[in-house]
Each structure stands twice: as C-alpha cells, then as structure tokens.
C-alpha cells in the first residue's frame, strides 16, 4: 500500500481534461455546458491509499519484454497492445478460429450460423464451427498442434450431433442439420487422400436421410429452406459421382421448395429437379437399365434441352457479364485465367448454380460422345453419328471455357474487389474436376486445373482441392457413371490424354 497524496476531486470527465470542476450534483457545470451526462466523482478517502501490486507486476513484465524486443519482434507488438487488457481479454484461439470461418465461409454461405452459435445451448454448432476454422488455419500454417485441437473439437461436435440425432426434440431442428453440414465441411478441409470422396459421400447419405425425415416443414423458414438447398446440391453431386439414384422424396421436396422460394430464386429448384433427373439417368446407364444406344442418346438430348430451357429464362439478376482479357504470352499454368474471358456474377450462389448447370451438361455430352463412339454402325448412320459428335464436341468445348471463365470470380482474382473465400474455393472444385477429366482436357489444360486446385488448397486451407489435384496427377477415374464397357475411351482414363 502506498500513500498517493491528495487526489483530485473533479469528476471523471473534467479530471483528465484538467478542467475546473465545481462538483455540483447531480451534474457539474462543465458537463451541463457540454450537454453530456456527468460520470460522477471518486471517493477521495479510498484514493488516499492505493494497492500498487498490479502496477509492480506490470512494470516487471514490461522490463522483461523490453529485454526481448531485439530477438522477438512479436513481443514488441504484445507490449504495445497491453493497455487493451484493461478493457477485456484478447480473443482466444477458438474465437479466432470461428472468426476466420465467418470471414471466409459462413458470412456469405450460411449467414444464420452466427445467430445459432450465440445460443447458449448450441454447443455442437460452436464445436463444429471451431473445428472447421481451426482445421483451415492448421492447413494454412502447417500446424500439427492446431490440427489436433481441430480434431478434438470435431470429435465433440460429432458426439453432440449424434446425440441430437437420437433425441426427438432435437432431431428436426435446423441447428442439427447445420451441424451435419459443418461436419461434412470439416471432411473436405482435412482430407488427406482420394478416399475423402467416399467419406464425404457417407456424410451425404446421413444428410439425405435427415432431410427426408424432416419433410416439407423444413422448407417453411428461410434457414430451413437454405439448409435444404445446400444439402440437396451436395447430395446430388455425390450421387452423380457414384452413379446412384436419388430418392423420390428428394424430388418431392424439391418440387415443394418452389412454393416457399422468392421468384428470383425458384430457378434453383427447377435446376435442382433437372439435375436430379440427370443423376437418375446416369445411374440407369451405369446399372444397365438403359442399354440401347439410341435410347441413351435420345434421353441425354432431352435432358440437355430441359437444362437449356431453364437457364434461357433466368431472371435479370442471374445474368452475368463477360470481360475480355489481353492474350497471355507467358506460360498458361502461371495464371488464374484460362482463355481470354472472365465472368462476373452478382453473387456466389448464382455463379455456383451456373457451374452446376454447366457441369451437368458436360456430363451429358460426354456420355453422348462415348455412346456414339461405341455404337455399331448399323444402328446410327454415318451422317447422324458425325452430326451428334460435332454438336456435342462444340458444346462441350464451350462449357469448359465457361467454367474456366468463372474461376477468377470464385478465387477472388477478378475485379469484383474481394478476397478468395473458403466457400468460393469449395464450390469450384467439382466443376474443375469435371472439366479436367473430360476428353477435351489437354495436357496443358490439366496442368492449369491442377495449379488452380493446388492454389485453393495452399492458400485457402482446403485439402479437398489438394486431394483432387492428386487424383488428376494419378489419372484416377472420376466419372463412375461411364460404363466399364467404354474402357480406355472414357474421359477420365489416362489413355485418352
């Protein structure tokens, strides 16, 4: 304890300003003149003696920090920030991880997660958010310690989500479904090899059962409708990759979703229905339900026409602009752009939907081309064969160019003035993978795609992109809807390069 002499009796506002304070009540004249609330006065008796233990501790700490300032620049930054400690503790590692998530993913992709995370009972949401944020940061900084912490939070979130799935009161909550999405996102961020697709597909199987049981009630709130839309997209992509059918319930829910969607975004459900039909068509080709070449070609052309008709009548808000670029003279793989055009979209939801449309059409035209190549000459005439090949090849090349033109927008390298985000990186991986495994992918183009995927992995912390790049380098078949009878002519096989 130290005697500090006679303290000032001025109010808390006048004292630091060295103003003459008349100590009037309830407000001094200086505060009244400034038209502010007078903060009040200190108790002079209490201030005659002051405990300076904390001051001594701070002085000793500052002396130690000054000694280490030459060898550790970061220590100097900590010293400069110490006055902030009087107003509150610095954010914890977990809070920083969640902040990274909301900045780079949740803010635009799932904005309702912030409100969910603030609810004291939603421990699973907070654990999952922290796990995803820490995992991305661990990848960026190559930190085993951060990844171990991320996996601990993931284990907690997984346990709590499984508990919620077994509880009748929590089973149908939006928070439970959001937790499932976050857990699948964690798998995409942390995957270490090509088997990530199988693990992610298993997550999607569980998600599919969950949204089917939730029924149409989930579509009546903005959060529930958005969660359904996000999961439907991922489920259908997984089914297309595996060559499996979707359930009739998913089709019914997609039809019902249009009733609760704003007019400008009903195209999402129309497109969803068309892609579901394509998914079931690919499954029928794979399991041998459809075997006649003419029937396969006719069905593929009908489905392609349905897709085109949907996107020809999109609202004005869905129309994107195209910017011309100067020709690059340097090596292509060093640039984030392939070709001489880039697309600019209103938002990531719209650009992602366009690329799903393009990827689906590319799959259909690849299937048409493979069917024509393997079809006996006595079934399709030479002229019909050549016409089909010319049309599908021309359309496929245009689709590949359009997907490539969207890459700068997703990676934040266009003039839209934003930084790359996790959501932008994740949503472009599948279209890039589809284009790179098409028969129109030259060696240089595949190298460019792999460089894009490597960039997504290294700069955004998404291991899914790195694993996809390895799949391409290894020449692994990634289009399982192509029947094995096509053999080496399949677009994903290395011999077709």
The whole-chain average pLDDT of the chain stands at 78
When pLDDT is cut at 50, 70 and 90, the band that residue 266 belongs to is: very high
The pLDDT of residue 155? 93
In this predicted structure, the answer to whether residue 90 has a pLDDT above a threshold of 70 is no
CATH of 2-67, one of 3.20.20.80, 2.30.30.100, 1.10.150.120, 4.10.240.10: 4.10.240.10
pLDDT digit string (tens) for 467-496? Answer: 888 888 887 654 543 333 333 333 333 333
Q: Which of 15-19, 94-98, 354-358 has the highest mean pLDDT?
A: 354-358
Residue 80's alpha-carbon distances to 76, 84, 277, in angstroms, are: 6, 9, 61
Q: Which part of the chain has CATH 4.10.240.10? A: 2-67
Q: How sure is the predictor about 379, in pLDDT bands with cuts at 50, 70 and 90?
A: confident
Instruction: State pLDDT tens for residues 273-321.
Output: 999 999 999 999 999 999 999 999 999 999 999 999 998 888 888 999 9
Per-residue HEC secondary structure of the chain comes to CEECCCCCCCECCHHHHCCCCCCCCCCCHHHHHHCCCCCCECCHHHHHEECCHHHHHHHHHHHHHHHCCCCCHHHHHHHHHHHHHHCCCCCCHHHHHHHHHHHHHHHHHCCCHHHHHCCCCCHHHHHHHHHHHHHHHHHHHCCHHHHHHHHHHHHHHHHHHHHHHCCCCCCCCHHHHHHHHHHHHHHHHHCCCCCHHHHHHHHHHHHHHHHHHHHHHHHHCHHHHHHHHHHHHHHHHHHHHHCCCCCHHHHHHHHHHHHHCCHHHCHHHHHHHHHHHHHHHHHHHHCCCCCCHHHHHHHHHHHHHHHHHHHHCCCHHHCCEEEECCCCCCCHHHCCCCCCEEEECCCHHHHHHHHHHHHHHHHHHHHHHHHHHHCCCCCCCHHHHHHHHHHHHHHHHHHHHHHHHHHHHHCCCCCCCCCCCHHHHHHHHHHHHHHHCCCCCCHHHHHHHHHHHHHHHHHHCCHHHHHHHHHHHHCCCCCCCCCHHHHHHCCCCHHHC
* Terminal Cα-to-Cα distance of the chain (whole angstroms): 82
pLDDT in tens, 325-372: 766 554 444 466 787 888 999 888 899 999 999 999 999 999 999 999
pLDDT of residue 396: 93
Q: Is the pLDDT of residue 324 over 50?
A: yes
Q: What is the pLDDT of residue 87?
A: 44
User: Which pLDDT band holds residue 201 (cuts at 50, 70, 90)?
Assistant: confident
Q: What percentage of the chain exceeds 90 in pLDDT?
A: 33
């Amino acid at each position: 304890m130290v005697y500090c002499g006679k303290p000032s009796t001025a109010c808390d506002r006048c004292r630091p300003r060295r103003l003459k304070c008349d100590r009037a009540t309830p407000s001094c004249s200086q505060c009244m003149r400034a038209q502010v609330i007078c903060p009040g006065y200190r108790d002079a008796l209490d201030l005659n003696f002051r405990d300076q233990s904390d001051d001594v501790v701070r002085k000793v700490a500052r002396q130690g920090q000054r000694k280490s300032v030459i060898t550790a620049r970061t220590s100097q930054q900590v010293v400069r920030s110490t006055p902030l400690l009087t107003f509150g503790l610095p954010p914890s590692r977990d809070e920083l991880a969640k902040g990274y998530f909301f900045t780079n993913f949740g803010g635009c992709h799932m904005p309702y997660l912030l409100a969910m995370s603030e609810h004291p009972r939603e421990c699973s949401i907070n654990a999952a958010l922290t796990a995803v944020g820490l995992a991305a940061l661990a990848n960026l900084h190559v930190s085993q310690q951060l990844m171990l912490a991320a996996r601990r939070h993931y284990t907690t979130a997984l346990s709590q989500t499984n508990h919620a799935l077994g509880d009748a009161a929590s089973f149908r909550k939006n928070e439970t479904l959001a937790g499932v999405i976050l857990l699948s996102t964690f798998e995409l961020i942390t995957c270490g090899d090509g088997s990530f697709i199988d693990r992610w597909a298993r997550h999607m199987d569980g998600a599919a059962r969950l949204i089917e049981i939730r029924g149409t009630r989930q579509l009546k709130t903005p959060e529930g409708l958005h969660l359904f839309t996000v999961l439907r997209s991922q489920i259908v992509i997984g089914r297309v990759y595996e060559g499996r059918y979707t359930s009739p319930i998913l089709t019914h829910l997609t039809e019902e979703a249009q009733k609760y969607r704003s007019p400008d975004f009903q195209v999402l459900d129309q497109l969803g229905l068309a892609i579901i039909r394509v998914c079931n068509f690919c499954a029928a080709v794979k399991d041998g339900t459809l075997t006649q070449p003419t029937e396969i070609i006719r069905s593929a052309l009908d489905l392609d026409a349905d897709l085109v008709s949907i996107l020809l009548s999109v609202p004005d808000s869905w129309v994107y602009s195209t910017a011309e670029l100067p020709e690059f003279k340097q090596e292509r793989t060093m640039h984030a752009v392939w070709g001489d055009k880039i697309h600019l979209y209103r938002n990531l939801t719209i650009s992602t939907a366009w690329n799903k449309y393009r990827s689906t059409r590319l799959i259909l035209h690849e299937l048409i081309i493979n069917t024509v190549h393997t079809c006996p000459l006595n079934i399709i005439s030479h002229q019909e064969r050549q016409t089909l090949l010319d049309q599908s090849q021309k359309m496929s090349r245009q689709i590949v160019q359009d997907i490539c033109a969207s890459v700068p927008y997703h990676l934040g390298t266009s003039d839209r003035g934003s930084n790359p985000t996790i959501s932008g990186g994740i949503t472009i991986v599948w279209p890039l993978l589809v284009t790179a495994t098409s028969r129109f992918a030259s060696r240089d183009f595949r190298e460019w795609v792999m460089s894009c995927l490597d960039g997504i992995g290294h700069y955004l912390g998404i291991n899914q992109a790195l694993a996809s790049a390895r799949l391409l380098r290894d020449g692994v078949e990634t289009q399982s809807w192509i029947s094995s009878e096509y053999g080496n002519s399949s677009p994903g096989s290395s011999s077709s390069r």
